[in-house]
Amino acid sequence: MIEKVGIIGLGKLGSPLAACLASKGFDVLACDIDPNKVKALNDGLAPISETGLQELITENRSRLRATDSIEQVVRFADMTFVVTATPSLPDGRFSLEYILPVCEEIGRVLGRPLGKAAFHPVVITSTVMPGDTWGPIRETLERRSHRKCGESFGLAYNPEFIALGSVIRDFLNPDFVLLG
C-alpha cells in the first residue's frame, strides 16, 4: 500500500504535484537542490507561483515537507516521482542532463537495504523522449543499484497533460487520462 510519496523537483510541476498528492491524503516528502524552495515549502509557503498552490499547501501542511536529500526522500517514500527539468535541445529532443544524475542517486539508494518493502516504484513525470525511460533512465537505475528493474524496483512514465496557471485544476480534474 502506498501511503508516503516522494517528489524530486519542486519546480512548475513538482510543487503542485506534491501539494495535490498531500491533498489526497498522502504523506509527501519533496526534494530540491534550491534551498529557497525547500525552505519555502517547510515554512508553509508556495515555492513557485501557481494558481491555488498556496491554498493547497496551507490546507495540507501537516502532510507536506521538503529536504535537499534524495536519499532521505527514497528512504521515506513508498513511491518516488522524478519531476526534474528536461530542457529542449536544438535537435528537438529533451535533455537528460538533470534527470540522469537524479537517477544515479536514486539507484545508489535503491542498491542499499531500505528497511521497508523491497519493491520501490520510480515514476518519471519529467518530459522525456520515447525510449528514454526504458533506455538511459532504466539503465542508469540498474547500473547504480546493481538491481534489475521489475524485480526490486519499478519504473513508469507518467506525463502530465497540464497548462501552467491551471496545473492544480488540471491535475485534480483531468480532461482525459491516457493509459497504455
Single pTM value for the model: 0.94
**Which segments of 2-119 are extended strands (E)?**
4-8, 27-31, 64-67, 79-82
The secondary structure element, H or E, covering residue 14 is: helix 14-23
What's the pLDDT score for residue 48?
A: 96
Give 103-147 pLDDT, tens digit per residue: 999 999 999 877 666 789 999 999 899 899 999 999 999 999 999
Per-residue pLDDT tens over the stretch 7-32: 999 999 999 999 999 999 999 999 99
Interacting residues of 62 by C-beta distance below 8 A, sequence separation 6+: none
Query: One-letter amino acid identity for 57?
Result: I
Distance, in Å, from the CA atom of 64 to the CA atom of 135, rounded to the nearest integer, reads 32
Q: Which long-range contacts (CB under 8 A, 24 or more apart) does 159-165 make?
A: 159/125, 159/127, 160/13, 160/17, 160/125, 162/13, 164/12, 164/50, 165/50, 165/51
Secondary structure letter of residue 33 according to DSSP: S
